[in-house]
Amino acid sequence: MRIPLGKTGLTVHPLCLGGNVFGWSADATQSRDVLDAYASAGGNFIDTADMYSEWEDGNIGGESETIIGDWMRTKGNRSEMIIATKVAKLSTRPGLSAANIKAAAEDSLRRLGSDYIDIYYAHEDDEATPLEETLQAFHELVVAGKVRHLGASNYTAPRLAEALRISRELGISEYQVVQPQYNLVVRDEFEGALMELSVRENIPCLPYFALAAGFLTGKYQPGVEVDSVRADDMPDYMTERGWALLAALNQVAEAHNASMAAAALGWLRAQPGVASPIASARTPEQLAQIMPIVDLTSEQVAALNSI
């Protein structure tokens, strides 16, 4: 199954595979197993960043891109994959200055073993650099054929609107996709002005933390200790509202004979502006829980919305 991605002309799988675990909680061999399983199941859309996974002891950043690049070279499938990566948050390549964007893109291309990037994101806004400088630098990469499309991650609606205005005034490449944090638990970063802008401009939303760092898989329950590298992210979700969401989500999952994770992704896909949620997996078994397409009824969506 493929869905059109806004104005890009790309068609992608409804689940974008997150590469943030590659080189972190999944080593190179485990990562290749997941990538093999994703491609075998029809997946073609992979999201990574130059900073993944700099936070792990001994890593310097770029580990995820390198694993993905090595895998594509081994499989000979670069032309079949849609690869998204990002610039701005790697400590050795910070910000969105023209010089940094140019250098970071070359680094990412080298690690990916590719001469182009399908979607290149500003990983976060950089208010210290004029938008004109950032957008012109991205445009030059597009003109050179090194980047096909541009995306904005962690941008507010006003800043995205301003970026669109500048691109149009200058007649240069525009941001065509957005990537905010968005899931059943954290809704305020996308819903409201950014969602309205996304829908109005036909700029698809590709939400990250689609499963709230694993909370929406259902493995976290009251009184249950979970051994996970992401367990420290859970306290903000372990509230009365969070547990109520899990209970309601479990009912929806059972009605579809699906996993809670697949139901949570189904809720995201039903939201205005959302195209392909991003979710990661450390093993093929975890991937199997999130790959199925679950179409929620309007009543199920409304029930989850109400909590």
Q: Which residues are catalytic?
A: 52
Extract the runs of DSSP E, i.e. beta strands, from 3-70.
3-4, 11-12, 16-18, 45-47
Please say whether the beta carbons of 42 and 112 come within 8 A: no
Q: What's the CA gap between 172 and 53, in Å, rounded?
A: 32
DSSP run (H or E) holding 93: strand 93-94
Cis (ω within 30 of 0) for the bond into 167? no
Mapped onto helix, strand or coil, the DSSP state of residue 176 is strand
Q: For residue 136, which of 167, 169, 168 has the smallest C-alpha distance? A: 167
Sheet holding 175-179, edge to edge: 175-179, 147-153, 117-122, 82-87, 45-47, 16-18, 278-279
Q: How far is CA 28 from the centre of its chain?
A: 20
Based on its alpha-carbon atoms, the radius of gyration of the chain, rounded to whole angstroms, reads 19
The residues, any chain, with a CB within 8 Å of residue 228's CB and separated by 6 or more, are: 214, 219
Token representation of residue 248: 């309601």
CA distances to 34, 96, 97, 136, 178 from 129, rounded to whole Å, are 38, 6, 6, 12, 19
